[in-house]
């Protein structure tokens, strides 16, 4: 039975509703602020290698992802397809097939992905034998109740789903570079651990100076995030990890909140560079939370870099200027389509919009190089 309201009760009810609408959201409860645009600008942003490698085709990773998004594909499907180009390219030695191996010459791969609208995530770490770890991470998201599978378990999961498992993901190039590094580092196998670690670092830097590898590939990764015209946002990060790492080492890439974080109501952030620094500060989560408070992507990224600088106090991690002796880069996108690339030192990032693919300079915290 519907209860009738007299005129006085009706006016009182309307006034109360008006007062409720006028009260700021923060005073009504603790619900987080969200960005809710009527429409968004489709954008794909990634690390710079996303606009370099084509795996023998005609388009780069960011072009592939942007084209799929604007044609109506799911955003996560699009950004994963974009990074697959790099994972499969044997010339790209920082991710996937031909990624630089660990200290024992074994290629171990990490990846994570997040679907903003569906509030789902998946990741794999220390995965061997599968060229496209991003697709296995996506399968974890879609077909399990878990967020992260590692090592042999991740490989068996992939095998059970029909992924091809290969004995060795080294290319002739990646194996040649590993053998070069090994000969420089440990010719006698009798160096003590501290000397060996320093020898390994110096050997890697010398290979950079000789032009054998690019410096950014010592911590090689690709992060790629995209948003469509509906404001639906997703992201993926994939990597072969720190070159010549201790077997089993896992960096930030497969860890939610570090190598990647997506909130479907706010935006996405991902990273390349020194994974340990990013892990300690959970920087991608920090960036998204700053955007939740209203920060522009660039300002949110700079806030995270300042946090990393403040927490970097070990002398071995500082250069002669007292600054971090490593690079760290963030690729940031909100659901309005605003984006930024920020970095500890001067670097570049890739973006694709209606203007086409571009490689742009990042906003750097410090001048010069690490």
Q: What is the distance, to the nearest Å, from the Cα of residue 77 to the centroid of all Cα atoms in its chain? A: 16
Q: Is the dihedral of CA 156, 162, 166, 170 positive or negative?
A: negative
Half-sphere exposure of 143 (CA within 13 A, CB side): 12
Query: How far apart are alpha carbons 223 and 339 in whole angstroms?
Result: 14
Q: In sequence order, what are the residues at sequence separation of 6 or more whose Cβ sits closer than 8 angstroms to the Cβ of residue 327?
A: 215, 216, 219, 273, 274, 343, 344, 345, 347, 370
Find the Cα–Cα–Cα–Cα dihedral 223, 285, 309, 349, rounded to 10°: 20
Half-sphere exposure of 344 (CA within 13 A, CB side): 25
Query: How far apart are alpha carbons 362 and 44 in whole angstroms?
Result: 15
DSSP-derived 3-state class of residue 81:
helix
312 is catalytic: no
Catalytic residue among 60, 144, 171, 221: 221
Q: Where are the alpha helices (DSSP H) in 89-192?
A: 133-143, 151-160, 172-185
DSSP-derived 3-state class of residue 341:
strand
278 with 308: CB under 8 angstroms?
A: yes
The CB density around residue 338, as the number of other CB atoms within 10 Å, is 18
Query: How far apart are alpha carbons 220 and 243 in whole angstroms?
Result: 8
Q: In sequence order, what are the residues at sequence separation of 6 or more whose Cβ sits closer than 8 angstroms to the Cβ of residue 215?
A: 208, 327
For the annotated catalytic residues, the residue numbers are 221
């Amino acid at each position: 039975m519907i209860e009738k309201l007299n005129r006085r009760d009706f006016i009182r009810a309307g006034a109360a509703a008006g007062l409720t609408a006028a009260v700021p959201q923060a005073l009504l409860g603790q619900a987080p602020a969200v960005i809710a645009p009527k429409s968004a600008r489709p954008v794909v942003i990634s690390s710079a290698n996303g606009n370099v490698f084509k795996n023998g085709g005609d388009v780069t990773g960011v072009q592939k992802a942007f084209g799929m998004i604007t044609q109506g594909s799911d955003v996560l499907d699009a950004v994963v397809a974009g990074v697959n180009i790099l994972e499969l390219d044997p010339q790209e030695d920082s991710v996937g097939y031909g990624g630089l191996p660990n200290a024992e010459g074994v290629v171990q791969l990490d990846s994570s992905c997040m679907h903003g609208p569906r509030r789902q995530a998946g990741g794999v770490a220390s995965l061997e034998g599968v060229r496209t770890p991003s697709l296995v991470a996506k399968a974890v998201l879609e077909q399990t109740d878990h967020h992260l599978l590692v090592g042999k378990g991740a490989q068996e999961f992939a095998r059970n789903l029909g992924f091809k498992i290969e004995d060795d993901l080294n290319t002739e190039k990646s194996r040649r570079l590993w053998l070069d590094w090994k000969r420089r580092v440990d010719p006698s196998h009798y160096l003590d651990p501290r000397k060996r670690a320093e020898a390994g670092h110096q050997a890697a830097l010398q290979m950079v100076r000789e032009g054998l590898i690019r410096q950014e590939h010592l911590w090689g990764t690709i992060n790629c995030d995209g948003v469509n015209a509906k404001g639906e946002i997703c992201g993926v990060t994939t990597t072969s990890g720190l070159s010549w790492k201790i077997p089993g080492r896992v960096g930030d890439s497969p860890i939610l909140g570090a190598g990647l974080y997506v909130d479907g109501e706010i935006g996405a952030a991902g990273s390349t560079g020194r994974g340990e620094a990013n892990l300690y500060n959970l920087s991608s989560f920090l960036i998204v939370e700053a955007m939740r408070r209203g920060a522009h992507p660039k300002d949110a990224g700079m806030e995270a870099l300042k946090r990393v600088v403040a927490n970097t106090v070990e002398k071995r991690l500082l250069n002669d200027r007292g600054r971090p002796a490593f690079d760290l880069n963030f690729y940031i996108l909100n659901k309005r389509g605003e984006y930024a690339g920020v970095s500890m030192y001067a670097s570049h990032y890739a973006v694709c919009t209606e203007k086409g693919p571009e490689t742009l300079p990042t906003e750097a915290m410090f001048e010069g190089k690490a």
